[in-house]
């Protein structure tokens, strides 16, 4: 990674971007958001940017096919739903990307893969080669084999770790909410936070949930933790809503910007 990008205005010159989208944004009633998301990714790809998508949604996508009305709580059923849903999810992305002549690649990881030096090295080499070939990797947690003990817990953390793995210039964390607020945005007095310095104290922030109840697993707290993790490695982070992804990747003044550490924290 070269000099970190320091503002939204520099996003269009980013060499490598990781975009993370949550389950509630691209499954169920929101499946239609896949096409505009792909439109935005394709526009960045067309200007020469290397794009990696970290997409949740395997379990949520598989649930209707297992005749489940809510997210399963037992691991075996989660694994079954993920096995069905992951196939459908990648198919939907590839069908949408076909409009732009972009080939998608499925990359499934567990926390253990990124902690084991051999597995981590293999994943890094594979990702670099995919990007060299102008393939668009779609990363998700390997829910079918993950256990409670080794799970990432949410894909926000996975996205931050992928950003570290590929030395991304920018991580864009998408959700149902357009920014980080001083308190849950539906509450009176909530104010949007425009910019977070790397060492800024956020202890006064009242974190709420981000995402549709019963589908996603992350919230504002997990997004902030992931943003801090990525920023510590020199990757700037933008928190925005999925509906704003095109504007976000064009450098519009929206969302919450987390400044990267420079130099990166060892």
Annotated binding site: which residue ranges? 20, 56, 143, 155, 175-176
**CB under 8 Å to 188, separation ≥6 — which residues?**
none
Which positions make up the binding site for substrate? 56, 143, 155
Beta bridge mates, 196: 258
- Cα 31 from Cα 24, distance rounded (Å): 9
Contact 75, 143 (CB under 8 A): no
- Cα 150 from Cα 157, distance rounded (Å): 13
Which positions make up the binding site for ATP? 20, 175-176
Comparing CA positions, the residue from 141, 137, 221 lying closest to residue 175 is 221
**CB under 8 Å to 105, separation ≥6 — which residues?**
130, 135, 136, 137, 138
């Amino acid at each position: 990674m070269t000099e970190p990008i320091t503002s939204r205005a520099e996003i269009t010159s980013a060499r490598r971007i990781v975009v993370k989208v949550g389950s509630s944004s691209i499954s169920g009633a929101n499946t239609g958001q896949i096409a505009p998301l792909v439109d935005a990714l394709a526009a960045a790809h067309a200007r020469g940017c290397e794009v990696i998508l970290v997409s949740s949604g395997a379990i949520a996508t598989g649930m209707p096919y297992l005749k489940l009305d809510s997210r399963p709580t037992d691991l075996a059923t989660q694994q079954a739903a993920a096995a069905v849903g992951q196939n459908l999810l990648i198919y939907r992305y590839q069908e949408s990307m076909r409009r732009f002549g972009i080939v998608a690649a499925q990359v499934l990881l567990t926390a253990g893969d990124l902690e084991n030096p051999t597995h981590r090295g293999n994943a890094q080499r594979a990702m670099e080669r995919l990007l060299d070939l102008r393939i668009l990797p779609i990363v998700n947690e390997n829910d079918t084999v993950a256990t409670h003990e080794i799970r990432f817990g949410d894909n926000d953390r996975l996205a931050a770790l992928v950003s570290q793995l590929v030395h991304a210039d920018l991580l864009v964390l998408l959700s149902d909410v357009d920014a980080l607020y001083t308190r849950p945005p539906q509450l009176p007095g909530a104010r949007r936070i425009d910019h977070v310095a790397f060492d800024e104290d956020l202890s006064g922030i009242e974190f709420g949930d981000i995402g549709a109840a019963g589908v996603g697993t992350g919230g504002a707290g997990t997004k902030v933790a992931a943003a801090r993790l990525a920023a510590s490695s020199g990757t700037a982070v933008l928190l925005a809503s999925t509906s704003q992804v095109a504007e976000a990747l064009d450098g519009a003044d929206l969302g919450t910007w987390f400044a990267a550490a420079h130099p990166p924290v060892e």
